[in-house]
A and B are shown apart, each in its own frame.
Chain A
């Protein structure tokens, strides 16, 4: 970039504020960024860092009462931040296109794709309706939608998630914008579709000489597609530079800790480096002596010698179309004839894309769903044959689950103490109220929260802290088997590292057996001893983790491994 030329898009000293009755919240400050044509700039940071605020400011779409308090935004040297609404509206869509995270909500469900494309083009471009229709077909072809002549007449719900995002992209580029803003464009998509969408975006930018800003929390996406990266932390850009440099040799300590927290896909590490910079959770723990500690008491598990959990020909169907007449009912098979064994003390991983049935397997094991066919044996006892509530509860106590969404897995109306104490009280694992309180405090201490947390409500905690509360609750029944269903996929990468460390420690300390479910292959590689790959409800392959990653047998496994976003800049 030569000093004399005018950059395509320039953001100068941007400051965005959200005044509220509790004071002014500064969402972005001192943000200076430039973008050239044909270039892809990544903005990376954790949730709440102010990434999306930048995109909204450029589009002139900051939600009131938020406002741009300071700074300038220039498109080809011309200020656009202070334009009247009507002129800004013409720039939006015409000169700046935007791609949102959720393709379903960014399309109008009542209009066909053609109507939406044509309407946008007629608004902004000086062309006839016939030309616009022809161009709509052309655009769908360019974004890689097969059979565009017919598909253009379809409604958004008739497209799959990936195809829908392609439609959104077609809509964003239909007026040949100079700048494209993409806010987490692949976060809602599966890995295989993510790779295709990123390819498409890169191709479009290169072919048309557009400038693109891509906002993401995912280092894999950054490595895959961007030329330059800006790292945001607490409303400021802390570092900016070429992607390769940021990924391999970042200057700012925050960038360093962020990169370090990304699970490496190509090797197994013992522990994640501690990221002290982000969340000040107590990380030093006392070693506990299981022979005297509460968690070690009554481990009346009776070693059966065999595998801890055996699943045989498990099948589960969901009713998709209910009807009084059995023959007219429609079923969707979520889990199809799955058999597997989990040995005492191991961490078994289940990996697959969304809808593959891995979460359903977990819910079948712990009894939230009842299977249609098949057997589940836990410690040699047939769970599926049990009828007595007392019997079932005795075994239920030994298996607990940690859920994906930390924001919905804790009852918002209960104090943390009551949340963690509930299983202890219900299973009568303590003698007195005082003992329950003591155990709860101890558990909270042990998951790194501190006893002060007991008297507060869940909403006072961040996502990572809530996940620690979830873990404490799961431990409160003294389980021997722990199911973790995507325990970190809703968390930022640095928090993910802490939670994974905690789970690893607990697993070793308490000798837990774990079923670890994730769509994230690098995470699976760090956590699991053996891995099963699921697709469309079927278990395709089971192997030792290292063997699976180095010598995958099933073609689908190979396909998944190929798509894994790699830090290609890494040495």
Chain B
């Protein structure tokens, strides 16, 4: 139409990104920018916890039982060394939160990646080949959906406890958790990717690839996969928040990571015992950290879903 409305397209990848609608909608939404900032800060401080945290809560030598159950620094009886107070073993709450967030995020990311791998693979195969393959895979997914996530996690955990020698469980607890959460979450990826793949399969560029002679795995990976990743990334972001919550729930119930390397959920559980004897800070601060982290990630996911959906624009 009119030439004036046509912008010149930037050539570099960065330039294209800064010019995209996605970046534009990001910079025009203060809430999302705040959520992104919070997420980034929390992830960074969790990753660099050993350098950021004022104390090492797992260094038994530095713990002093005399410092146990100290209230936050601004309260009466608070110790300026322990900003958010200490728990029953004299560990600094602020430091344990940083270390705990590290475990929570690690479990979250790993389980999302694993769920994504399983789900995307199943979805691509089911959507592209269709027919009997599709029917079998999707029925398995349906069966999977009838089990609530917690139940699957408890099941996997129980089985693992049975198989592994008692001492070994602590070391693999984290991976059991990852497996449990991933197993209960892959279906959503599979469903989404399957429906996108069914649409893409009938596009002419896929037929063009078939005419060239490319074998199916190559077509799936090179042509269909990049075109179905948009919704997958959205789900992954939202699922990250969900995975962190489930990890916290499981740890709270005592089937998650062991207390020697506590996640946010473990911290909340430990603190729960002291809630009614007045030491509220042990459970409230990890709880707040969990809420803020999940809320921020969720807001990002919601925004990403809306920004990538042309119908809502």
Give residues in A with beta carbon < 8 Å to B: 20-27, 48, 50, 234-235, 363, 366-368, 389, 392-393, 396-397, 399-401, 403-405, 408-413, 422-423, 426-427, 455-456, 460, 470, 473, 477
The residue that B215 contacts in the complex, of A389, A405, A460, A470, with Cβ under 8 A, is A389
Is the beta-carbon distance between B211 and A23 smaller than 8 angstroms? no
Determine whether B169 belongs to the interface, using a CB cutoff of 8 Å to chain A: no
> Which partner residue on chain A sits nearest B3 by CB separation?
A234
- Is the pair A234, B203 in contact by a Cβ cutoff of 8 Å? no
Q: Contact between B1 and A23 (Cβ–Cβ < 8 Å)?
A: no
**Chain B nearest CB, measured from A207 CB (Å):** 38
Residue numbers in A under 8 Å from B2 (CB-CB):
25-26, 234-235
Report the separation of the CA atoms of residues A23 and B210 in the bound assembly, to the nearest whole angstrom. Answer: 41
- Asked whether B213 lies within 8 Å of A408 as measured between CB atoms, the reply is no
In the complex, what residues of A have CB within 8 A of residue B11's CB? 455
Instruction: Decide: B212 and A403 in contact? CB cutoff 8 A.
Output: no
Further contacts, 10 of them, CB under 8 A, given A392-B213, A408-B203:
A22-B7, A25-B5, A26-B1, A393-B213, A403-B207, A410-B208, A411-B209, A422-B209, A423-B213, A427-B213
Q: How far is the CA of A400 from the CA of B227 in the complex (A)?
A: 23
Q: Is the CB of B4 within 8 A of A403?
A: no
CA distance A422 to B206 in the complex (A): 13
Q: Which residues of A contact B24 (CB under 8 A)?
A: 21
Complex: A23 Cα to B7 Cα, angstroms: 9
- Residue B161 lies at the interface, judged by CB distance under 8 Å to chain A: no
Interface flag for B17 (CB, 8 Å): no
- Determine the distance from Cα of A460 to Cα of B16 in the docked complex, in whole angstroms: 12
Closest 9 CB pairs of A and B: A409-B204, A403-B204, A25-B5, A413-B226, A396-B213, A393-B213, A423-B212, A408-B203, A411-B205
**23 A-B interface contacts by CB (under 8 A):** A21-B24, A22-B7, A23-B4, A23-B7, A234-B2, A366-B211, A368-B207, A389-B215, A396-B212, A399-B211, A401-B208, A403-B208, A408-B205, A409-B207, A409-B208, A410-B208, A411-B209, A412-B227, A422-B214, A423-B212, A426-B212, A426-B213, A460-B9
**Nearest-CB residue, chain B, relative to A458:** B205
Q: Which residues of B contact A366 (CB under 8 A)?
A: 210-211
Query: Contacts A22-B7, A410-B205, A426-B212: A50 and B227 contacting too (C-beta < 8 A)?
Result: no
* A473 to B208 Cα, complex, angstroms: 9
A403: nearest chain-B partner, CB-CB:
B204
Given the interface pairs A389-B215, A426-B214, A427-B213, the reply to whether A235 lies near B204 with Cβ below 8 Å is: no
CB-based contact B227/A20 at 8 Å: no
Interface size of B as a range: 20 to 34
Residue in A closest to B21 when the chains form the complex, CB atoms: A21
B207 and A477 contacting across the interface, CB-CB below 8 Å: no
Given A23-B5, A413-B227, verify A367-B211 contact (CB < 8 Å): yes
CA distance A41 to B84 in the complex (A): 79
A401/B9 in contact, CB under 8 A? no
| A473 CA to B213 CA, complexed, in Å | 13
Q: Cβ of A401: which chain B residues have Cβ within 8 Å of it?
A: 207-208, 211
> Which residues 260-313 of B sit at the A interface, judged by CB distance below 8 A?
none
* Residue pair B204, A405 in contact (C-beta under 8 Å): yes
Bound-state Cα–Cα, A195 to B213, Å? 42
Report the nearest B residue to A395, measured CB to CB: B213
- CB proximity of A391 to chain B, nearest CB, Å: 11
List of B residues within 8 angstroms of A23 by Cβ: 4-5, 7
B241 to chain A, nearest CB (A): 28
CB-contact partner of B212 in A363, A389, A470, A477, under 8 A: A477
In the complex, A456 Cα to B1 Cα: how many Å? 21
A411 touches B215 (CB 8 A): no
CB-defined contacts of A27 to chain B, threshold 8 Å: 1
B210 to chain A, nearest CB (A): 5
Q: CB distance B1 to A411 under 8 Å?
A: no
Q: Which residue of A lies closest to B5 (CB)?
A: A25
Residues of B within 8 A of A22 (CB): 5-7
Max chain A Cβ within 10 angstroms of own Cβ: one of B204, B207, B226: B204
CB neighbours (8 Å) of A48 from chain B are: 1
Rounded to whole angstroms, the CA-CA distance of A400 and B212 in the bound complex is 7
The B185-239 residues at the A interface (CB cut-off 8 A) are 203-205, 207-215, 223, 226-227
Closest to B223 in A: A411
Contacts of A410 in B (CB 8 A): 205, 208
Distance A200 CA – B259 CA, assembled complex (angstroms): 81
Q: Which residue of B lies closest to A234 (CB)?
A: B1
Point out the residues of chain A lying under 8 angstroms from B210, CB to CB: 366-368
Are the CB atoms of B212 and A235 closer together than 8 Å? no
Which residues of B have CB within 8 Å of A408?
Answer: 203-205
Across the interface, which residues of A come within 8 angstroms of B6, CB to CB?
Answer: 22
Determine the residue in chain B with the shortest Cβ distance to A26: B2
In the complex, the answer to whether A409 meets B7 with C-beta atoms within 8 Å is no
Query: What is the CB-to-nearest-CB distance from A405 to chain B, in angstroms, rounded to a whole number?
Result: 6
Whether the Cβ atoms of B1 and A397 lie closer than 8 Å is no
